[in-house]
Amino acid sequence: MDRREFTMSKKSNNKVLAGLERVGGFASAQELHLVLNRDSESIGLTTVYRALQSLVDANTVDILRKEDGEAIFRLCGASHHHHLVCKSCGKTVEIEGGVIEKWAEQAGAENGFREIGHTAEIFGICNAC
Amino acid sequence: MDRREFTMSKKSNNKVLAGLERVGGFASAQELHLVLNRDSESIGLTTVYRALQSLVDANTVDILRKEDGEAIFRLCGASHHHHLVCKSCGKTVEIEGGVIEKWAEQAGAENGFREIGHTAEIFGICNAC
DNA sequence: ATGAAAATGACAACCATTTTCATTTTGGGT
DNA sequence: ACCCAAAATGAAAATGGTTGTCATTTTCAT
């Protein structure tokens, strides 16, 4: 009877994915909620949170935290890079992170972990500040 | 009489530093507040937050975020390592991060940043889970 | 069409963090 | 020592992102 496994493409998940595509980069749950409703896509804030949560669980969406602790999301597969952020003015540079991937994979493997993921951010003061 | 010039060493900052030393690794503001008051160091939660803030500004303390967004703090200079955390059971392994130091330093230098710092954490599922 | 299960969303609850503000402490000038 | 202004403190209230609740709606297999 229950043959539904991974076919469940919840409507809300699709709406949220569409929103993330339109935004292109990172967006917070609340921003996403605004964007979606601005474009006559009626969807509740709670549902946006739930959709994001399930997309994160499904490894479709990445989550990371701004310095103030707010969660921001982006589509996985969007080229995986890291950020160099100026603590003073907020200027952000995208950094290639192949080294980090390897480091994380290796450290995980050495300790018998699977489904390895990682976060890595660099911060400092840019030359304009 | 008072020849300690510009040791603007606020009493609360010292209490908080002592707490961080005692804890040894990472601690949240609230944990710190508990620890301090448990040891008959009377200090308010608000003051703990303010002290941590000023210590972070003074580059005496590092701040990073747990996955749930809560801020955790540690003394700078406390042996610099990273964590491999099991998403399921919370088991944590300390990982050497020399590669990361170099990666961060280099990326910062290449982009004209100074006072480079970084965060990096690895997560996955441990073999017991 | 029908009933059960899943999904939805308005609203309330939660909780870490910040702000407010009244009070206390500190420290320099006299 | 004494004043007094500025800094520090902390209890309580406010803030704000996120999660829980629950009544209602939608989906879907029969």
- Which of B59, B81, B83, B122 best tests the A interface by mutation, with the highest count of A CBs <10 A? B122
Query: By the 8 A CB rule, do A63 and A72 touch?
Result: yes
Chain A nearest CA to B100, separation (Å)? 7
Chain B residues touching A113 at Cβ < 8 A: 84, 86, 122, 124-127
B127 touches chain A (CB under 8 A): yes
Give the pLDDT confidence of A35-88 residue by residue, as tens digits. Answer: 999 987 889 999 999 999 999 998 899 888 888 899 999 887 666 778 887 776
Q: Find which nucleotide's C1' atom is closest to B52's CA.
A: C17
Coil/strand/helix, residue B71: strand
- The pLDDT-based confidence of B92 (bands split at 50, 70, 90) is confident
Tokens standing for residue A17: 């994915």
- Side by side, the strands of the sheet bearing B71-75 are B27-28, B71-75, B61-65
- The pLDDT-based confidence of A9 (bands split at 50, 70, 90) is low
Coil/strand/helix, residue B68: coil
Given 3-state DSSP classes, what are the helix, strand and coil percentages for chain A, each rounded to the nearest 5?
40, 25, 35
Amino acid at A90: G
Please indicate whether, in this complex, the C-beta atoms of B115 and A86 are within 8 angstroms of each other.
no
Lowest mean pLDDT among B9-13, B43-47, B53-57, B97-101: B9-13
Q: Find which nucleotide's C1' atom is closest to A45's CA.
A: C9
- Cα A37 to Cα A10, A24, A30, A48, distances in angstroms: 18, 17, 11, 11
Query: By the 8 A CB rule, do B106 and A84 touch?
Result: no
Give the pLDDT confidence of A15-30 residue by residue, as tens digits. Answer: 999 999 998 888 999 9
